[in-house]
Every structure is written in C-alpha cells, then in structure tokens.
Amino acid sequence: MSPSGIASTIALSGFSEVADRFDLCLCDVWGVVHNGVAAYREAVVSLMRMRERGISVVLVTNAPRPREVIIGQLDGFGVPREAWDAVVTSGDVCRALIRVRAGEPMYRLGPDRDLPLIAGLDVQETSPEQASYVLCTGLFDDENETAASYADLLAGFAARRLPLICANPDLVVERGGRIIPCAGAVALAYEEIGGEVVYAGKPHRPIYESALAEAEASRGAPIARDRICAVGDAIRTDIAGAVGFGAAGIIVLAGIHAQDLMEASWEERHGWFGRQTHRPAYAMPHLVW
C-alpha cells in the first residue's frame, strides 16, 4: 500500500462515474482547465456538469496572483463563470503572509507580471544585500533560466538565514506544450542548501482550508471531507495536498507527468503511481464528464 493509504488507483473514463460520491470538487487550473494558452473545452463542460449535479466547484491554483487576476485570465480563455463557484489562489494566501511582515525590507525574486501580488500591501522592496526576507514568485526569465541560475544568490540568502516566501510551490508548469520552471523549483533549491522556505499554496493546508470555507459559505452548510475530491495533474502538489486534506485525489494524466503516463499502459501507470510519494484515488487522461 502506498504512503497515501490507497492500495490501487481506479481508472476513470469520465468524472460522471464518481459524481454521486462528492459534494465539492477542488479543481486545479493550469494543466487541467487550460494550458496557459487555451482552455480545455471538455474540462470546462465537466465543471459545468458538476455544478448542474449540485457539486460545488472551487478552482484552486498555485498562481502567485490575486484571484481577480486569475478570474480575468479565465474570462479571456472563454471559461464561463458558470463553471465555478469560487477561485482561491496561492497569491491570496501569500498576501496574508506578507501582511504579517508589513514594512520589512523585502527582495522580490520573480517577473514584473507578478506585481499585482503585492499591490496595496506595505512592502519595502530592496536589494538582496539589504533584505530581511525574500518573496519568490517565479524566475525572472522562465523561458531561459532554471533554478541553478540563482545558485549564488540563494547561497547568499542562506548564509544570512533569510526566510523565503514561495508564492507558487509548483516545480514546473506546462505552457503551450513546453515545460516551464516555477517558483517551487527555486524554493526547493533553497531548501537543499539549508534555507528556510514558507510555502503558500498546494500541497499545504491553508489554501485548502480557504477553499473549503468558500464552498461551505456558498452552500450554507458544512461539507464532509469524504465528500471532497481534488482534481490536478501533479503528484507533489495536487495529489499530496488532497491526501493531506483528507480528500480523494484525481489525477489528470495529460499534464506535467504526461511523458511518463500518457503513452503507458494502465498496468504501467499503476506501477508508476505505486512508486510516488502519494497515490491518487482515481486517474483519467483528461478531465471529461
């Protein structure tokens, strides 16, 4: 039996096969609902069918941006607002962590497109040498850099024992068919040299607690943990987070693990799941109804 306590992963041809088991679906966004360039129409239809069946849908993403930014992105991809009840981002959780450090000098490691994350907060951006903590939202140039590009910078932070707030625990993400490194890769490299990392987002509990609170407020009633599923494409974040929260993890194979899973037989897939830190309860190639 895997560390998840699940003996075997059940193969699904569509979510409808298990729809009557759940009252809440916590659904990953990038890799499940869209690929950073376009929405997956069948996934959108599935979310709408869930809501028609009385299942609440909360989109839970490790995007290091406030939810309003993500909602605008979903609108741009043509994802109707009828497909979800609420959106919760690691950016929302991260903003709460920054508020606790109001006024402290901060070094921001990440692209300027993530500036909405700190908009309106009491932050004092400064140089690496003057900072008392680091906010990592990603890589400055994720098309050409890797976490190794920051080895000297991270070594300097570790020598000064600076805490690093990781706004996006994802290691990688798919962007239009390419695999792109995320803030989680930088955070992992920092941990490996002894640095202290504070994570916002999946697989850590705060983002799940926030998502559950949104769903219960919308329904006006509590939701039992065994009536919650979490759909995602990453073992390390989506499935580990689901297991830790007591939800049923459903993995979408055509995401960041596609190279290992999409061309494999189901027998090979089951073996692969058994070698991971956490095993999903269910698996399907794509989110479809």
pTM: 0.82
Estimate to the nearest angstrom the gap between the alpha carbon of 134 and the chain centroid: 20
Q: What mean pLDDT is predicted for residues 160-183? A: 89
pLDDT class for 1, splitting at 50, 70, 90? very low
> Are the beta carbons of 173 and 51 closer than 8 angstroms?
no
Q: Which CATH superfamily is domain 92-199 in?
A: HAD superfamily/HAD-like (3.40.50.1000)
pLDDT interval class at 6 (50, 70, 90):
low
Q: What is the pLDDT of residue 178?
A: 84
Domain boundaries, the chain: 1-20+232-289, 92-199
- Transcribe 49-84 into DSSP letters: HHHHTT-EEEEEE--SS-HHHHHHHHHHTT--GGG-
> Each residue of 93-118: b (16+ CB within 10 Å) or e?
bbbebbeebeeeebbbbbeeebeebb
For the record, the structure tokens of 144 come out as 């050409």
Token duo for residue 99:
């508020």
Question: Looking at the predicted structure, is the pLDDT value of residue 2 above 60?
Answer: no
Q: For residue 34, is pLDDT > 80? A: yes
Tell whether the model's pLDDT for residue 5 goes beyond 60: no
Q: Are 10 and 212 in contact (CB under 8 A)?
A: no
Cα separation, 9 vs 196, whole angstroms:
34
